Structure 1
Amino acid sequence: MCNLESLKIDLKELDEGLTTLKFNLGDAYFESLDEDEIKRGSVSVSLNVRRTENYFELDFHTAGSVVIPCDLCLDDMDQDVESDDRLIVKFGEEYSEDDDLITVDEREGVLDVAWFIYEFIALNIPAKHVHTPGKCNAAMIKVLEEHSATRSSGENEEAAVDPRWNGLEKLKTIIKD
């Protein structure tokens, strides 16, 4: 398992000005989060934290590749990801999240960025993800095509129709006459 402690930033310890942090996240990171969408990957994160008197600006640059299932054949596929994201953090009485403004409990002063990084990666994955043509699992594509052909050929179409529609079919023939 990945030690997610390294992704907890003690904001109180940071000096005013710019601090750069770098993280290389691999399979262990994704496994530690125990999420279904992304199980493996290799991603580099560069985090610039600019501390001012009143708040922190966190600029994330994430680049790498993750392994996700293909929507068509369900086999694993590599998906390149790259994103630039920003969070504004301030100290307050208790932890809260409001859009891109995070309030960290001033007594603790620690911000865990592990989940934010995962969200940035997940949001960067296209809604539809399929292998490049010819790379899908051939056996699965064949089964998919067989089932699609059966559905579109009209076989067993009469049996598939809800019997309640029969009354409407009668009305259609009356209207035509």
Structure 2
Amino acid sequence: MPSLEKFKIDLKSLPEGETVMERDLGDDFFASIDAPDVRSGQLHSTLTIHRRDNLFELLVDTAGTVTVPCDVCLDDMDQPIETHDRLTAQLGDTGSEDDDVVTVSEEEGILDVAWFVYESIALSIPLRHVHAPGKCNPAMMNVLKEHSAARSGDEDGEKAVDSRWAALKDLKITN
């Protein structure tokens, strides 16, 4: 399994000013990070690091596609992704993660941004992802139609009603 070493940034060795790093993210990245939500994809990430003394502002721009299951037919589909995120880090006595600033031990000086990049990608995936109309798996769409509650109506034009609701119609509450 490929290493995530290229996502470890030696903050102490960075020069003052701006440093730009380019990273390609493929299936090996998602396998290495043991990603729970995304298993594959092809993305390109640009890390722009602005250093001022012991304060570092990281801008992470990532674009490409990830493969996720369609919510309707469950077949894999490509989901376009574009993210723009920011992380602030500083060198300090002890390592810690605050909501605003990540403090990296000055002794070590290494910031691992692999999980930050992954979270940025995972959070940009829409809650609902479906194929374009007509692109879902036809076999699965037929099964869904067959098991749909809409087919429980009569052929003479009566509005279709789920049989579970029809049984409740006979119950009446009286005061």
TM-score bracket relative to the smaller structure: 0.7 to 0.9
- Deviation digits for residues 64-112 of structure 1 (CA, Å, limit 9, x no counterpart): 1110111111111000101111100011222222224211111110000
Which secondary structure state, in structure 2, belongs to the residue aligned with residue 108 of structure 1? coil
CA–CA separation in structure 1 for the residues paired with 2:165 and 2:23: 59
| Partners of 1:11 and 1:160 in 2: CA distance | 68
TM-score (norm 2): 0.86
Where 1:120 maps in the other structure, the secondary structure is helix
Instruction: Quote the Cα distance in structure 1 between the aligned partners of 2:65 and 2:135.
Output: 17
Which residue number corresponds to residue 115 of structure 1?
115
- Residue 21 (structure 2) aligns with: 21
CA RMSD of aligned residues (A): 2.1
CA distance in 1: counterparts of 2:130 and 2:21, whole angstroms: 33
| Structure 2 gaps, min length 5 | 153-159
Query: Which residue in the other structure is 2:44 paired with?
Result: 44
Q: Which residue of 1 aligns with 2:101?
A: 101
Q: What is the rounded CA distance, in whole Å, between the counterparts of 2:7 and 2:61 in structure 1?
A: 15
Question: Residue 25 and residue 158 in structure 1: after superposition, are their counterparts in 2 closer, same or farther (change >3 A)?
Answer: closer
CA distance in 2 between counterparts of 1:142 and 1:61 reads 41
Structure holding more helix per residue = 1
Runs of 4+ displaced beyond 4 Å: 158-161
Identity of aligned residues (%): 52
Looking at structure 1, the residues matched to 41 and 73 of structure 2 have their Cα atoms a distance apart, in angstroms, of 20
Structure 1 residue 54: Cα displacement: 3.2
The TM-score with structure 1 as length reference comes to 0.86
For 1:97 and 1:66, locate their aligned partners in 2 and report how far apart those are by CA, in whole Å: 28
2:68 maps to 1:87: no
TM-superposed deviation, 1:159: 10
Aligned residue in 2 for 1:32: 32
Match of residue 74 from structure 1: 74
